[in-house]
Chains A and B, each alone.
Chain A
Amino acid sequence: MTTLAQVLLVSVLAVPALGALVVALLPARHDRGARIVATVFAAVTFVLTVLLVVPDAEYGWFTYTDGPPALLPWIDVSASWVPALGLDFHLGVDGISYPLVVLTGLLTLLCCAYTVSKVPGGGRGRTLAALLLVLEVGILGTFLALDLVLFFIFFEVVLLPMYAVIAGWGGPDRRRAARKFVLYTLFGSLLLLLGVFTVVVAAGTGDLMALTGGTGLSRTVQYVAFALFAVAFAVKAPLWPLHTWLPDAHTEAPTVGSVILAGVLLKMGTYGLIRVGVGVAPLGAAWAAPVLGILAVAAILVGSLVCLRQTELKRLIAYSSVGHMGFVLLGIATLTVTGLQAALIGNVAHGVITGLLFFLAGAIKDRAHTGALADLGGLRETAPRLAGLLAFASIASLGLPGLAGFWGEAFAVVAATERGGPLWITLAVLAAIGGALTAAYFLRLLRRVTHGPASPAVAGFAGVDRPEWLAWSPLVLLALAIGLVPALVLAATADPVAALTGALP
């Protein structure tokens, strides 16, 4: 029986897919019109993602004989697709995926709206808008998929449109950066594919609802599968030392590409690690947790120290992502409810704040025609609003309590402390020091860019215009709202996360 909620769930993917098709088919002379159409489709998709919170009427009325399953979606849709491969078209949404789904809907909408008036040089605006919608399908599909093979397919769908966005609309060195991005992440995908088939062959099903909790998988299979998953997702997240595709891709990508890349694409890695890695192979996760924790803290420290010595605006923000994702991965590595929840809110906060930072960095670069910190300076003299927003985003990103970034970082540290023992306490201490270093490089950034006398590059800056306000203000408000009311993200996560960690040894 198909309920309204299930129709809703499928249409979350169908609407942007249809939108991409429509936009791509519109004649070239209606370029601006096509971008507006794309924005409308993105807006509808966003509304639909928000509505997913309305649970199925039957939800909550099941009775279970042997306790609830480890994964219980609010809504799910299942249809057999390729029986020979054991592939089902199985989608579902729960408290873990919901915030990320909404974030994806929001950022795509903002990027489409931004593209209506600002098309980066390199290609047609409507093609870019269509690619953004295709990207959205892939990312939403990844977050919604409840079948391992389907998850892999969506994971891959994202790759080529992103390649096209970077290679088509990026900066001067865009082709090299795009190639590096696609080859590096393909390498990760290869391992993911191996992992998926290891699990599917061993368990005889790809259904995540059945697989979560590691039922039916031997210890060895779980170890192998987790190792494969971990490396695959570590490339995507990215986890040090598998991060070097990121700075190049970010520096060269157009503004909207960077926003999507940092805002939601990286989250596919961390989400995958929680849902697939920890979910399907809990024994493997427990086995690899210390290594993961050490690498996460290394990412925090290396990321922030490298940022201290960066000289380019977008590259600095890209590296800051390495540090922030390090906090998220540290939260996951603790394998505690506290840590996983910190990782989830850290994910969302990073998407909001770094999305905003890339919007701002893009706006500054477009105006100044340079991203070199040495050439920028005195922004608050010529563009006080832009400088104020940059200060806000930087302060949010350095984890100021009361803004979104705080919860994920502070509670990753708390979770490591909670875990206890010499290793995890050391990791907590190092991560906390990383927090101080994060403040150091963001303040250095602000001092270079906003303070001091106005440099020639920032002279005659245009103020923040209406499309920019439209795209940025939701992110500003969200950074503040999540900071003040973290329950916005975390309210529904407690049960699924507790169920997930329940399967851990």
Chain B
Amino acid sequence: MIAEVFGTALFGVPVLAGLLGLLLPAGDGGRARRRRAAALGIAGAAFALADAVFLLLVADDPVEFGVEAVRFGELPVTFGVSLGPAALYVALAVTVVALFVQIYSVGYLHDDPRYAPYAAQISIFTGAMLLVVSAGDLIMLLVGWEVMGVCSYLLIGHDRRLPEAPRAAVKAFLVTRVGDVGFLLGIALLGVSAGSFEISAVLASPPAHLTVALLLILAGVAGKSAQFPLHTWLPDAMAGPTPISALIHAATMVAAGVYVVFRLFPLFARSPGALAVLGVMAAITLLLGALAATAQDDLKRVLAWSTVSQIGYMTGALAVGSPAAALFHLLTHAAFKALLFLAAGAVIHAVGTNLMSRMGGLRPHLPRTFWAFVIGLGALAGLPPLAGFWSKENVLVAAAHAADGEGPAPAWVGWVVWVAGLLGVAITAWYATRLLLRTFFGHARSRTDEWHVGFDDARYERGPGAAHDPPGLMLWPVQLLAIPAALLGLAAFLPGFRSALELEAPHLEVSIVLPLILLAAGAGSSWWLWHTAPGVDPAQALGRWRPLFAAGFRLDDVQDRLVVRPVRALATALRLLDERVVDAAVEGTGTSTTRLGVVLANAHRAALPRAAVAVFAGALVLGVVAAIYGAAS
């Protein structure tokens, strides 16, 4: 009974807090009103966090229950919760990040008149992700999955002053929704073949066309987790307020896709075809994201592309048959990416711009933020002993094993993921170093009037004094997140944690040398470029590739040409068809009937002699017919 209540409350309470928060009046309501909204949001996240911790500490067995909610024909839909230890760790990461984001937002949006709905939407967002994590039924999972999409849409479009925000919001929802076409069909196939949508039942009875169903599921995963070719929404989603970026990139949304594959992994393990597609997708995403990150000038866009790339590591781990490594990287990534985004918010708050070309020399002014960045970027690049090192190591080892032909995936998939992963290490180190040097070292760049053209979502104009670390409400979440970003990797040495994730013990063998060399090469070359030409962007070295990388390989244009424009053209054509042909036929029937009526009416309007002749003629015809008829019978 306790497990049922706490399992349901895990996602129920944040959603409820969010729904209540939406009822609060929007608009600039003064401090009391803001305080209520903030209290509701923070309380929802804090409760969920406490709930997750409680379940992690108390529940010995996985929390599993389900009651039939409704039945469509032979297909029952259950309201079910299934929270194993691994799911609880993910829930923990979600709730920690959500709580910090809520607290941070109080400071970050301190003068936003639409703060109340914003905080409420974060609560619903968190609840929806927790629903995905704890769902024991695919339809329930789909509910959380889509609600998350809508919340991301609402939150990315939150900023009223950015003309690009509504467009980015629509794009985020639509691109993921396109993937969800496949997701829904995949769920339908799995559910229909299993006769139930319960995940345990689905895992037990795979359909005949398993690979097709899984590829359809992967379409949804690619959308949510920003995998090639459906990753295009994520960099644009930077138009959302920075704490929202932290939420989307670290713990919710992009993590959901990886989590779903993790959840359904027993099915994936039976389908080498699906794993191969996943592996190729992962490798492309990993390199594409990393290369695109090298050429960005916008601080948040570097981080966004790095997320695309890091999710590639997770899906790569899944593809090579190591869901544990994927989940481990998901957890460490949640910690360091949340840290990086919140710290980036502090920088943006301090200098009033997102563009690195307008930053520089910030280290003495923002010492704490600087250290947060050092830890976050070190973890991102995989610098030992920070969190990212251990999890990335795990992924690479898993890929190397798969390349040896172990595990469910074909060996070539292992090679592809391994090579891409190694290249990714060097590129990641390169752009992480560039980011750090461009932002915090060198000379402070002079301020001009153009400074405020970037994503100005913080609504802070830089004050007259020098830049400084943010106020406590924003600083504390950053400092606290630095702890897991630095240390979470060491959790791999804890047997309890390892057994929850079914993770292998860390290997400190020869295999770690190669990534470390690549790391040093990447970071070193970036530093050397910066050092030899002070004040020049190391990305200059990319030469003519730079615009291509900066534009994310122009895949937006491809998407526009291949999907958006044809659909628009088709829609225009169909509207014309509907109006000019289908409706015109209907109207035509009406007008021609009227016209026929006019003709007949005119025919009847005749002068007396002609009318008399007509009557006699008619009588004659009738008489003749009658005579013939009579004679015949």
Contact = CB atoms under 8 A, between A and B. Distances in A.
16 contacts: A241-B582, A309-B575, A310-B575, A336-B73, A338-B72, A339-B73, A388-B22, A401-B142, A402-B147, A410-B142, A410-B184, A411-B72, A414-B191, A440-B567, A490-B70, A491-B70
B508 to A, nearest CB: 45
Contact of B160 (A381, A388, A432): A381
A306 B571 contact: yes
Nearest to A501: B73
Contact of A305 (B74, B188, B574): B574
B73 A384 contact: no
A121 interface: no
B568 interface: yes
B146 interface: yes
A337 B574 contact: no
Given A183-B590, A400-B150, A432-B185, 14 more contacts: A241-B582, A244-B583, A306-B575, A384-B27, A388-B22, A401-B145, A402-B146, A406-B146, A407-B70, A414-B192, A417-B189, A439-B177, A486-B70, A487-B70
Given A381-B160, A401-B143, A402-B146, A418 B75 contact: yes
Interface string A393-414: 0010000111000110011011
Contacts of A498: 73
A184 interface: yes
A365 interface: no
A367 interface: no
A447 B167 contact: yes
A487 B79 CA distance: 12
B178 A436 contact: yes
Give the one of B150, B169, B582 with max A CB within 10 A. B150
Give the one of A310, A336, A384 with max B CB within 10 A. A384
A337 B575 contact: no
Interface in B149-184: 150, 153-154, 157, 160, 163, 165-167, 169-170, 173-174, 177-178, 180-181, 184
B575 A341 contact: no
A394 B430 CA distance: 45
B590 A440 contact: no
A448 to B, nearest CB: 9
A417 B571 contact: no
Interface string A232-275: 00000000110011000000000000000000000000000000
B32 interface: no
Contacts of B181: 429, 432-433, 435-436
The 3 closest A-B pairs by CB, nearest first: A337-B73, A338-B73, A451-B166
A172 interface: no
B61 interface: no
Contacts of B587: 180
Nearest to A417: B188
A384 B147 contact: no
Q: Is the interface of A mostly helix, strand, loop or mixed?
A: helix
A244 B72 contact: no
Interface string A300-314: 001001101110000
A439 B173 CA distance: 8
A69 B501 CA distance: 55
Nearest to B173: A443
Interface string A169-197: 00000000000100110000000000000
B462 to A, nearest CB: 25
A349 to B, nearest CB: 13
B572 interface: yes
A452 interface: yes
A494 B71 contact: yes
B26 interface: yes
Contact of B185 (A244, A388, A429): A429
Contacts of A302: 574, 578
Contacts of B178: 436
Give the one of B71, B114, B145 with max A CB within 10 A. B71
A184 B586 contact: yes
Nearest to B154: A391
Q: Is the interface of B mostly helix, strand, loop or mixed?
A: helix
B189 A337 contact: no
Contacts of A305: 567, 570-571, 574-575
Contacts of A240: 582
B167 A388 contact: no
A342 interface: yes
B279 interface: no
Contacts of A180: 586-587, 590
B584 to A, nearest CB: 9
Given A244-B578, A244-B586, A388-B26, A436 B191 contact: no
Contacts of B70: 407, 485-487, 490-491
A485 B582 contact: no
B69 interface: yes
Interface in A470-504: 485-487, 490-491, 494, 497-498
Contacts of A451: 157, 165-166
B571 A384 contact: no
Give the one of A302, A388, A401, A497 with max B CB within 10 A. A401
B235 interface: no
B257 interface: no
B117 interface: yes
A369 interface: no
A490 B27 contact: no
A432 B150 CA distance: 18
Contacts of A380: 114, 160
Contacts of B574: 302, 305-306, 309
A309 B572 contact: yes
Contacts of A391: 154
A385 interface: yes
A443 B171 CA distance: 9
Interface string B531-542: 000000000000
B460 to A, nearest CB: 21
Contacts of B150: 395, 400
A417 B209 CA distance: 13
Contacts of B567: 305, 308, 437, 440
A309 B163 CA distance: 22
A483 B181 CA distance: 20
Contacts of A118: none
Contacts of B74: 337-338
A444 interface: yes
Contacts of A134: none
A204 to B, nearest CB: 33
Nearest to A302: B574
A428 interface: yes
Nearest to B146: A401
A382 to B, nearest CB: 11
A349 B157 CA distance: 27
Given A305-B571, A432-B181, A443-B170, A341 B73 contact: yes
A497 B71 CA distance: 12
A309 B569 CA distance: 10
Nearest to A241: B582
A265 B114 CA distance: 39
Nearest to A385: B26
Given A436-B174, A443-B170, A485-B69, A428 B571 contact: no
A494 B70 CA distance: 10
A401 B180 CA distance: 12
A165 to B, nearest CB: 21
A371 B592 CA distance: 32
A447 B166 contact: yes
Contacts of A435: 177, 181, 184
Contacts of A433: 181
B69 A486 contact: yes
Contacts of B117: 384, 388
Given A309-B571, A436-B174, A440-B174, A428 B188 contact: yes
Nearest to B22: A388
Given A401-B145, A414-B72, A436 B572 contact: no
B589 to A, nearest CB: 9
